[in-house]
């Protein structure tokens, strides 16, 4: 991936990264609220460690024009487990973030419980099409994505056939190499249609894969390296531990 294709911001630790990420979300929300998009801010969220980061730092930033009343929140992937299950992304955000946002809260698109994988994917795709009625492929204002040590993002895994999906906006996966095996995920056409995508990665365990993604020119790119918005912006928010092997130009941020 060419360095000029994205901006890479590096922070001393997750504690400094979190407020900057929250400020970015708030800025994009305020821009959507005051722009020509009818006042709605569409936000796609991944789970994992992002839940804790956003839950800690986003609520104080979500005020004024960035208030959540005008947000549409969807999840970039979801495990096929009940909302109360510890692996549920919806459950994690309902427990940690959503109660802390100033009311009235956002509209949240949630997985319909109890459906088989293919039906769950079709149901979630139908929800998205209803929420984005004028777009063949939903165009999110902002997607906040994580990345695994193997280079996966959402539930798009290295070498998996879903990386070639061109038609579906939501796909089912029944053989996830990371448990639980049954999931749904946004596909690359949706990720690459977004107005902005920001990847968040922290910790030394991500350093090697980030070097491959951001500096490598691989014949068969890792899933996260395939996320390159066609007309939108691509950002990376890293801590110093995750960025330690990178030699490309970096925007380094000091402790405030």
DSSP assignment of 197-220, as one string?
EEEEE-SGGGHHHHHHHHH---SS
Q: Computed over its alpha carbons, how large is the radius of gyration of the chain?
A: 17
What beta strand segments (E) does 109-223 contain?
142-145, 170-173, 183-186, 196-201
Query: 137-161, pLDDT tens digit by residue?
Result: 999 999 999 999 999 999 999 999 9
Query: 221-255, pLDDT tens digit by residue?
Result: 999 999 999 999 999 999 999 999 999 888 888 65
Answer whether 187's CB lies under 8 Å from 171's CB. Answer: yes
Percent of the chain with pLDDT over 70: 96
pLDDT reported for residue 6: 86
Quick check: 201 pLDDT over 80?
A: yes
CATH 3.40.50.1360 corresponds to the domain 3-252: yes
Q: What is the DSSP letter of 235?
A: E
What whole-number distance in Å separates Cα of residue 157 and Cα of residue 82?
A: 23
Alpha helical stretches, state H, 133-181:
none
- The residue among 146, 137, 248 whose CA lies nearest residue 187 is 137
* 166 φ/ψ angles, rounded to the nearest 5 degrees: -115, -20
pLDDT reported for residue 34: 83
pTM of the model: 0.95
pLDDT reported for residue 33: 85
pLDDT reported for residue 3: 38
């Amino acid at each position: 991936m060419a360095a000029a294709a994205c901006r890479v911001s590096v922070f001393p630790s997750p504690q400094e990264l979190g407020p900057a990420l929250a400020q970015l979300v708030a800025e994009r929300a305020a821009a959507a609220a005051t722009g020509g998009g009818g006042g709605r801010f569409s936000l796609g969220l991944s789970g994992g460690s992002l839940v804790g980061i956003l839950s800690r730092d986003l609520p104080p930033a979500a005020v004024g024009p960035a208030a959540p009343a005008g947000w549409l929140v969807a999840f970039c992937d979801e495990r096929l487990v009940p909302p109360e299950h510890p692996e549920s992304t919806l459950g994690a955000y309902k427990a940690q973030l959503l109660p802390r946002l100033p009311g009235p809260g956002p509209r949240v698109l949630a997985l319909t419980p109890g459906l088989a994988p293919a039906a769950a994917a079709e149901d979630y795709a139908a929800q998205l099409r209803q929420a984005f009625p004028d777009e063949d492929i939903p165009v999110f204002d902002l997607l906040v994505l994580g990345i695994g040590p193997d280079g996966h993002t959402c539930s798009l895994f290295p070498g998996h056939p879903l990386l070639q999906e061109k038609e579906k906006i939501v796909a089912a996966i029944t053989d996830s190499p990371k448990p639980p095996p049954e999931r749904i995920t946004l596909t690359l056409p949706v990720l690459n249609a977004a107005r902005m995508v920001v990847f968040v990665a922290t910790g030394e365990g991500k350093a090697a894969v980030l070097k491959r993604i951001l500096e490598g020119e691989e014949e068969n790119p890792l899933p996260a390296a395939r996320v390159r918005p066609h007309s939108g912006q691509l950002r990376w928010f890293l801590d110093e531990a995750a960025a330690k092997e990178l030699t490309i130009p970096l925007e380094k941020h000091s402790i405030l």
